[in-house]
């Protein structure tokens, strides 16, 4: 067990460091998804199957694709800044301060001194049961939120579409132009249409 944990930990941390220090943004995004996989490995090793698999499904399958697409669609330049600048050192200071405060707060908090209750058998069935009984209200709220987001995305996309329609004068977005060479053979005067 410790051997697998060591391997997973080394890979995860190496990917995280790479995600911070690589200069090419796409490389960073890919290294970040490596970190997600490593985290999922840690969850699986701890016996939290559902969390681990949801981590892979959501973060590796969807979020990293989203990140990569966002990078591709927004910026094309590859920044050539030096790895270390004044801002880097300043941010290291801020990070260390925040981390210190967090660690201090965690160590001081009474939650640490509580003894852990015996770990329940984390089966997927029990998670599903509690999602459908105890936690049904949060689940429904989440579902409502996601549906609203989905409809909102569709409405935003539709507004863009109608705008382009008006600009173009005809509905090019609905239907791509038919392959003219097949349906309308060139007329005898030369030139198609």
Partner 1 sequence: MTEALDQIFVTLKHWLVSLCPAEFQVLASIVLSVAPILMVFPGLFALVTVIERKGLGRIQNRYGPNRVGPFGFLQFVADGIKALIKEDVVPRRADKVIHFLAPLALVLPCVVVYAVLPFGRNMTLTELDAGLLFFFAVGASTELAVFMAGWSSRNKYSLFGAMRAIAQMISYEIPLILSAVSVVMIAGSLSLPKIVAAQGTYGGWLPDWFVFTPWGLAGFLLFMIAASAESNRAPFDLPEGESEIIAGYYIEYSGFKFALFFLGEYLGLFAISGLAITLFLGGWNAPLESLAWIPSWAWFFTKLIALILLFIWTRGTLPRLRQDQLMNFAWKFMLPLTLINLVAAALWHYIPAGFTRWFMCGLMVVGPYCLLGRGIAGKDKTSKRVYRFAD
Binding site for partner 1 (CB under 8 A): 24, 26-27, 30, 33, 37, 49-50, 53-54, 56-57, 60-62, 64-65, 68-69, 72, 123-125, 175-176, 182-183, 185
CA angle 166, 161, 163 (to 5 degrees): 35
Query: Between 2 and 110, whose beta carbon lies closer to partner 1?
Result: 2
Q: Note whether 173 and 164 are within 8 A (CB).
A: yes
Q: Which of 19, 25, 31, 26 is nearest to 79 (CA)?
A: 25
Pick 116 or 182: Cβ nearer partner 1 = 182
Q: Are 91 and 52 in contact (CB under 8 A)?
A: no
* Closest separation in Å from C-beta 65 to partner 1: 6
Are 32 and 14 in contact, with CB atoms under 8 Å apart?
no
Structure tokens that stand for 107 in this block? 């160590």
Q: How far is the CB of 17 from partner 1 (least distance, A)?
A: 16
Nearer to partner 1, 9 or 56 (CB): 56
Name the minimum Å distance from CB 44 to partner 1. Answer: 9
């Amino acid at each position: 067990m410790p051997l697998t944990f060591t391997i997973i930990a080394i890979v995860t941390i190496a990917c995280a460091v790479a995600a911070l220090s690589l200069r090419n943004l796409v490389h960073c995004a890919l290294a970040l998804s490596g970190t997600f996989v490593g985290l999922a490995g840690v969850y699986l090793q701890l016996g939290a199957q559902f969390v681990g698999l949801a981590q892979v499904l959501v973060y590796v399958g969807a979020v990293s694709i989203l990140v990569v697409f966002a990078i591709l669609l927004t910026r094309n330049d590859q920044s050539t800044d030096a790895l270390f600048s004044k801002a880097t050192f300043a941010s290291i200071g801020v990070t260390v301060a925040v981390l210190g405060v967090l660690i201090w707060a965690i160590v001081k908090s009474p939650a640490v001194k509580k003894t852990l209750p015996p770990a329940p058998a984390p089966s997927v069935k029990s998670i599903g049961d509690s999602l459908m009984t105890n936690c049904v209200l949060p689940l429904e709220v989440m579902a409502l939120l996601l549906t609203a987001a989905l409809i909102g995305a569709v409405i935003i996309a539709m507004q863009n579409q109608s705008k382009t329609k008006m600009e173009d004068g005809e509905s090019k977005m609905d239907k791509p132009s038919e392959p003219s060479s097949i349906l309308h053979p060139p007329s005898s005067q030369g030139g198609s249409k």
